[in-house]
Structure 1
Amino acid sequence: MVEGLSWFFTNIALAFYNFFYAITHPNLWLDMGDPEAVSRVIYYGGSVEFFFIVFVAFLVLTGLGLWKNGIMWGAVRILEGFGNAVGRVAAWAGLIMVIQQIIIIFVQRVFASAQITLGFGTPLTKDVSWWSEELKLWNALVVCLCVSYTFIQGGHVRVDLIYSGVSYRTKRVLDMLGSLFFMIPTAVLTWMYAWYFLWRHLVVPKPSASQTLEQTMMKARALRWNVETIGFSPNGFNGYFLFKVLLLAFCAMVFIQAIAFFYRSFLEWKEGPESEGKYLDRDALGDPNAELVHAIDEHH
């Protein structure tokens, strides 16, 4: 028990040192041409040190927010704004996916061609089967990068057993508990698996989550890039490592949204029903008549 507490608080104290050391020595981990720098990124991206840096940042921001609720509301607006911005841009991938599917059908059925060429100057020429399989990438972009946006817009399906029948403040408590004990742990665990899953398909020798920093740095001598370019078919899509990158992006978006939702739920619980939906930026179809009335009121 004592050893566990000592380990916990020691890592919290070291988080400040590790963070400032990292940002003051960027050459140690930003040079992707240096095998040792890449090895440090691989190790620290799924390490205890990185976890405690994020954890301490959350504690500091939460403490400031408890001291001044305006700071916490500011964090909510920034984090939700980030989720909305990323989601609104990534949502266009759905339109691209539809247009690309139409092109594939026309090329195959109307022009009876086996290849599609897109671009100017140095065009990209690939087999139709490559473009057909690549459609899954656009779908993955929508799923992974629009997850926070969909949550903010209220688009996720809620499995409601008791939520609708409880009071306003109880709902906010349930939301806080859900953020802390379901969303954040799930995002962290998925990140840990996804991080090494990605790097095992980018470099050799393959990294392991059980390696220490010393063992990882010893492997750096033999480290080289070996990006996965194997498709499911001979002429099929060969950029499947991008799906692994998107899985990490998904974890990050869920984690960020969990923090924003926890802060929003706490503030709405503290300030009461009048703060429900405060600063919430949700999309809505415009009403032309309402806009006309608003314009007339402004003119007068």
Structure 2
Amino acid sequence: MTQRSRAALSHLKFRHLALIEYLLQDGTLRKAARRLSISQPAATAMLTDVETLLGVKLFTRDRQGVAPTPQTLALAPRLRVLLNDFDELGAMLDRLDTGENEVLRVGVVPQAFTVLLPPAVERFRQAGGCYLRTSEGSAQDLLERLLAGDLDCVLGRLPPDMAAQGRDAASLSFINLYEDDVCVVCGPDHPATRLKKPGYASLAQCDWVLQRPSSSVRRALTEAFLRQGLVLPHPVVETPTYIQALDIVASAKLLTAAPRRTAMAYADTGRARVLDLALRVAPMQVCLIVRKSAEQHPQIVRFRAAFEEAATRTTREEVDRT
């Protein structure tokens, strides 16, 4: 096995990494050279230099352009993390001019954003937390951004195909924060609210608004119906998030499913009713997901503590209501 010293790797430059990324994106030395504002011969020489430094053949070349080798495809995720970290370094230098310094880039699934993020932000700021930049998306999308170095941490559920992430998942830490179960929800005027004990058979005759079939909430609901020997009705409305579904059922005679904490937040305002129906499916585990290399970063530790405190207080308030 070739041993590469840190001294040799220290000769790598940002432009070397950018060249590899542009070649992966564009597939030709001519286009990559244009993006780097250099000549094509200079880009060719730079590629030779970086291959020599790394001791790896990065691209094969023909008349159509360049194609990445398996070694390059293996290195690509780590290179993107380095490039994203470099971009964040530049952004931090810009913030220093305005009196700011650190920023914590947090990816949040809608469930956590709706109920727990607001009080967690307040606690984080009171504890001396830094500037926050939040992004919302699906658990899978946010996880991919975390692996690419575009986010510092993610608040969300584990994607159902987590095992498929392979070695990438081994670079992450998963810190359990709380569990949330799925419940059936309708608007305040829905006929189901007049049922003393709603049953699966009667609900199977109703119209539904649901998330995409791949969503964890819809999968849980489908499992619950199948266990009763029933097929979940095809929705009359399909939405990308359960937040949209809850907004729809608040003013339409439809049913939906949602994480209980979010559903109760709607119920507390009178916009929805949570039906007394036990789905008896495994609760969803919400985690703080970080790269292992950043697990002990002071701002991440501070943010974790703030979110755990917010989750604990919300759970205590739910118990007091029941």
The two structures have a TM-score, normalised by structure 1, of: 0.28
Q: Which has the higher contact order (CA 8 A, sep 6+)?
A: 1
Structure with greater strand percent: 2
